[in-house]
Structures are given as structure tokens and as C-alpha cells.
Amino acid sequence: MKNDMHLVLHGLAIKKHASAATVAGIIGLDSARVAAVLQDALTKGSVIEAKGKFSLQPMARIALESDYSRYCSDLRENQAFVKLYEDFEVVNTALKALITDWQVTEIAGSRVPNDHSNKDYDSRIIDRLGELHERAERVLTEFAAHLPRLAIYRDKLLAALEKAEDGAIEWVSDARIESYHTLWFELHEDLLRTLGRTRVE
């Protein structure tokens, strides 16, 4: 993705409703450059803005989808990158199971929401997350070798994991921050858009 407008709108599509700084934080462009591109997009009617946060307009979303084939064709035809994505999906399946176990627990044979009062249970899940991250490290590093901006996700995922391991358990899956699960979900969305795939629920 060499076109700044496409890259910025791609980042906004992943974040859905975000400031220039937030978009810059996942695409590797300077915040000032992202702000300038978003202002241009605002003038063109591609985005709307409210209280410093931007969202894609419907027609811009459609145009963005059609532009991926132009800007991402090399990666889509790169069999090594596609194989990495397939390896990522294997880890993704394991992460989804882990997050389910994080969100619910079993009491007297019934699955109930995890209120995080059982510290031992939570610690075991965070240990599993650390093991899962070790499995993912090779894929995350090799993604960045093909597309350098993806190193942002690798670094942020590690930072979120370390905070969770230090006892700040909100960094496992809290959607209000760049928690491990939030970042992983965004990386998955990034890859799906880049490769022209569809998320399987």
C-alpha cells in the first residue's frame, strides 16, 4: 500500500471511528500526515468527522474495497505471505477458544460469566496466552518482513501481554483499550482486507 489516502482509509476502516492519532498508531504514518490526509478526505466527502474522530462514508467504503486489488495485488499473489496467513488462522482459532475461556468459567457444571474473582483461574488463562503468543511470534515477525508496518501489531501485542502478565488483567480483552484481543482482532481485520478474505464467525 504505497498510496497514503488508501492506507489512511484502510486504517480508519479497521478502527471504524477514530482520531488521526489512533489511525496513525496502526498504519505507521506520522500523525500529522494522517491528519492532513483525513482533512483531504473530509473535503472530498470520503469521511465524516465529529469531535475529532472520523468515520468512512458508505461510498468511500465501497471504493476502498475495490482499491485493495490494486494496492495489495503483490501480497495477494505472494504464496509465502498467504501461507503465513493460513498459519495465523490456526493460532487465531486457539485464541478464540482462549478468549471464550477468559470470558466464561464453569461453576457446578454450568458455564457462567467470569467475574475474575478466581485469580488462579485467570492466571492460568494468562499463562496460556503467553504460550499462544510464543506460537504466534514467528508468524508476526515474518508478516513484518513482508509488510513492515505490521511490526506495529507484533510490538503492541507483546506490550499488552506483558501488562496482563504483570497483573493488569484488562489488557487481555478490554475493548476500550489496545488489549491483546482488541489488537489481535484488528490485525485479523487488517489481514482479511489486505488479502481479500472474509471473516469466519
Mean pLDDT of the chain: 95
Whether 96 and 168 share a structural domain: yes
Whether 79 and 66 share a structural domain: no
Question: What's the DSSP call for residue 150?
Answer: G
Asked whether residue 117 carries a pLDDT value surpassing 50, the answer given is yes
Q: What's the domain count of the chain?
A: 2
Whether 24 and 91 share a structural domain: no
pLDDT of residue 1: 45
Whether 61 and 85 share a structural domain: no
- Which of 71, 105, 130 is the last residue in one of the domains? 71
pLDDT of residue 24: 97
**Cβ distance 65 to 13 under 8 Å?**
no
Whether 176 and 82 share a structural domain: yes
Q: Locate cell 498510496: which residue?
A: 3
Whether 93 and 177 share a structural domain: yes
* Rg of the chain over all Cα atoms, to the nearest angstrom: 18
Range of the domain at 131: 74-195
Here the cell at position 180 is 491483546
pTM, two decimals, is: 0.93
